[in-house]
Amino acid sequence: MRKWQCTICGYIYDEQLGQPDHGIPPGTAWEDVPEDFSCPDCGVSKEDFEMIEAS
């Protein structure tokens, strides 16, 4: 499971946790997160995230 961080506000998407509030179940790989996903904190798009941790 990996973690991806928003380069603008620092929000972290953790694949293990998903983002259930936005309909993304725990365990969802970043590739399977919808392309129209936007950062829950600052609203920038999926392509403005970078991988910070792989394990």
Partner 1 sequence: MPKHGVVIIGTGLAGYTTAKEFRKNDPETPLTLITDSDGAFYSKPMLSNAYGTNKLPTQLATQNAEQMADTLKAKVLTHRHVMEIDLNDSVVLTQSGDNILFDRLVLAIGASPIVPPLEGNALERIHQVNSLADYARFRGDLAEPRKVAIIGAGLIGCEFANDLRRGGHEVSVFGPDALPLSNLLPAQAASELKTELGGIGVDWQLGSAVKTVNLNDEQFELILANGQSHQADVMLSAIGLRANLQLAKQAGLSTARGIVTDRFLQTSSPNVYALGDCAEVEGLFLPFVLPIMSAARALGKTLAGEKTSVQYPAMPVVIKTPAYPLVVSSPPAGAEGNWQIEETGTGLRCLLKNGLGQLVGFALTQDCVKERQALVKELPPLLNT
Binding map of partner 1 across residues 17-46, x = CB under 8 A, - = no contact: ----xx---------------x-xxxxxx-
Note whether 1 binds partner 1 by CB under 8 A. Answer: no
Rounded Cα distance between 20 and 8, Å, is 22
Quickly tell me which residue has 């973690």 as its tokens. 3
Structure tokens at 25: 């179940």
From candidates 1, 8, 29, 51, binder to partner 1 by CB under 8 A: 8
Tell me the longest C-alpha to C-alpha distance in the chain. 26
User: Could you say which of 7, 14, 30, 46 contacts partner 1 (CB under 8 A)?
Assistant: 7
Residue 16 near partner 1 by CB under 8 A: no
